[in-house]
Amino acid sequence: MYAYDEIDRTLVNERVSEFRDQVRRRLSGELTEDEFKILRLQNGVYLQLHAYMFRVAIPYGTLATNQLRALAHVARKYDRGYGHFTTRQNIQFNWIKLAELPDALEDLAKVGIHAMQTSGNNMRNVTSDQWAGVAPGEIEDPRIWSELIRQHTTLHPEFSFLPRKFKIAITASDHDRAAIKIHDIGLRLIKNEKGETGFEVLVGGGLGRTPFIAKTIKHFVHGRDILSYIEAILRVYNQYGRRDNIYKARIKILVHELGIEKFSREVEEEWQHIRNSSLQIDDEVIEDIRSRFSYPPYEKLPHMPDELRQAAADPDFEAWRKNSVSPHKNQGYAIVTISLKPIGAPPGDATAEQMDALADLADKYSFGEIRVGHEQNLALPHVAKRHLPALWKALDKLGLATPNVNLITDIIACPGLDYCSLANARSIPIAQELTRRFANHELANLIGRLHINISGCINACGHHHVGHIGILGVEKNGEEVYQITIGGRADENAVLGNLIGPGVKFDEVADVVEDIVEAYLALRERPEELFMDTVKRLGVEPFKERVYATR
């Protein structure tokens, strides 16, 4: 966990007071909506179909139990008893009243949570690997650098009015769980030949209307220079990024139009002006941040405790363990992913009761820490293996032990037309129907790793472009129509999916996905060949034939 200092606490508290005054002036009519809109957006407050929506940041996906309880409290007191975890390590409340928002913010501020820069054309929540600090083979904890960037960019005047929103993600593992290649800046923490910490810097990734996979702009930037290098990128973007056309304003368009070589030359030139300035980071600064992260007092524990050996006789426990429990860097411990994708439920939703109960379980079994991943699931990062059977029983009672992590029912979906004012089509009911179709866990395991991503409009909050199966809802002649892509992925081998053919109607989507899956099962060369491998081997055609032969 990271402990905020007095400066952070003061900043967050002052922000609450400021926003309280802004809301008061808005409700009294002193501020018009045009004047107020940018202020509310800078505090994570959107207007959606039914109500205001309040987006709260969970920096690099790390939550303490008192923070999770505070989110449960906000869900219960100010909303309708649940929250929705998003694809960028945020949580959203869908029914909040503007008049009560300052109180909700104040309650969150007491535990160091805020909503600053969760919206607007500024630097958004810096995201990272939800297994940071505990993943085997990780180079070092990427959250230290995430926190450095968070501190530097929070309320930074130069980054508060960018041409468009700006998102950074950081990973420090070979396997990218932070989806860095679909971010404006992606940072891959590496060591150089001298053993010094630095980053491969990628730029210009993003989805939405015009998707791009990020390109490497520099193969190694020393850790001490990372702030100045990021700032150089942002300065070039601030100078050349388009402000006349919202659809061409993201940095990915600038990188594409200038070309990565020209863009990198511009950045390099800017960087030379500022790299030896106060932006160069002293080791003491990093060490100070590092010292504010606390790590559990791990014990020396056996790799295979008796409790785990005995529980292995229970097939339900084993199914969950094999699916949801992952290796930890310390022997005797495990990382437990908690699926927020129960069959038939909206992906990523958690009730206040679940959040409270999970906080209790995290106190009991995970040194008081919870993680949030971009796949809209949670994780307990420090569970002693001997506690896994007891934890599983407790999670099962809460409806939080669905053994479907990384399987076909572990669907990423945006809120879609049920909530979102930008959406053209519904996402959640499609996800619900698909989870019902593939509810049989034996079938889901037979299919193996398969990610479905659903977006209700071209803005792609459900990351459909990088779903193994991507589903994009659009509106055509007043009807919801869904375009299906296959072959996308968001990891270290990120690639955009390919369209398989004409869009299909709402009622046909689940049938089409079933057809694609049946085709895959028939076409794969062996059970270990994953869906993505089959698509890579054969391309789109055989799937297209299967889907459209009878339509």
Residues 36-65 that bind another protein (CB under 8 A): 47-52
Cβ proximity to another protein: between 82 and 229 the closer is 82
Interatomic CA distance for residues 327 and 336, integer angstroms = 9
Question: Is 85 near another protein (CB under 8 A)?
Answer: no
Instruction: State the nearest-atom distance from the C-beta of 443 to another protein, in Å.
Output: 23
Cβ proximity to another protein: between 26 and 181 the closer is 26
For residue 542, which phi and psi values (nearest 5 degrees)? -60, -30
Candidates 91-99, 218-226, 285-293, 517-525: pick the segment binding another protein (CB under 8 A).
91-99
Cβ proximity to another protein: between 50 and 309 the closer is 50
Residues 309-348 that bind another protein (CB under 8 A): 345-346
Q: Which of 68, 213, 232, 417 contacts another protein by CB under 8 A?
A: 417
Candidates 216-224, 288-296, 377-385, 420-428: pick the segment binding another protein (CB under 8 A).
420-428
Cβ proximity to another protein: between 348 and 448 the closer is 348
**Nearest residue to 80 via CA among 95, 102, 92:** 95
For the window 347-376, what string marks contact with another protein as x by the rule CB under 8 A?
--x-x-------------------------
Cβ proximity to another protein: between 241 and 346 the closer is 346
Helix, strand, or coil here: 446?
helix
* Residues found in the chain: 551
Residue 7 is encoded by which pair of tokens?
């400066």
Interatomic CA distance for residues 350 and 97, integer angstroms = 20
Strand 333-338's sheet: what is its strand order?
Answer: 62-64, 369-372, 378-384, 333-338, 325-327
Residues 272-311 that bind another protein (CB under 8 A): none
Cβ proximity to another protein: between 203 and 355 the closer is 355
Interatomic CA distance for residues 252 and 207, integer angstroms = 9
Interatomic CA distance for residues 28 and 26, integer angstroms = 5
**Nearest residue to 372 via CA among 119, 55, 79:** 55
Q: Which of 147, 480, 491, 515 contacts another protein by CB under 8 A?
A: 480
Instruction: State the nearest-atom distance from the C-beta of 483 to another protein, in Å.
Output: 18
227-230, Cβ contacts within 8 angstroms, sequence gap of 24 or more: 227/148, 227/149, 227/152, 227/279, 227/280, 227/281, 228/271, 228/274, 228/275, 228/277, 228/279, 228/280, 229/201, 229/267, 229/271, 229/275, 230/149, 230/168, 230/185
State how far the alpha carbon of 161 is from the alpha carbons of 54, 248, 394, in Å: 21, 16, 46
Cβ proximity to another protein: between 60 and 82 the closer is 82
Cβ proximity to another protein: between 51 and 274 the closer is 51
Candidates 23-31, 105-113, 383-391, 404-412: pick the segment binding another protein (CB under 8 A).
23-31
Question: Is 432 near another protein (CB under 8 A)?
Answer: yes
Q: How far is CA 7 from the centre of its chain?
A: 27
Instruction: State the nearest-atom distance from the C-beta of 534 to another protein, in Å.
Output: 32
Instruction: State the nearest-atom distance from the C-beta of 478 to another protein, in Å.
Output: 6
Q: Which of 2, 12, 15, 26 contacts another protein by CB under 8 A?
A: 26
Question: Is 422 near another protein (CB under 8 A)?
Answer: yes
Strands 82-85 and 90-96, bridge-based pairing = antiparallel
Secondary structure of 248-299 in HEC code, one letter for each residue: HCCHHHHHHHHCHHHHHHHHHHHHHHHCCCCCCCCHHHHHHHHHHECCCCCC
For residue 313, which phi and psi values (nearest 5 degrees)? -75, -20
Candidates 25-33, 310-318, 462-470, 540-548: pick the segment binding another protein (CB under 8 A).
25-33
Candidates 24-32, 61-69, 201-209, 219-227: pick the segment binding another protein (CB under 8 A).
24-32
Give the interface with another protein as residue ranges (CB under 8 A).
26-29, 32-33, 47-52, 80-82, 96-99, 345-346, 349, 351, 417-419, 421-422, 426, 428-429, 432, 478, 480
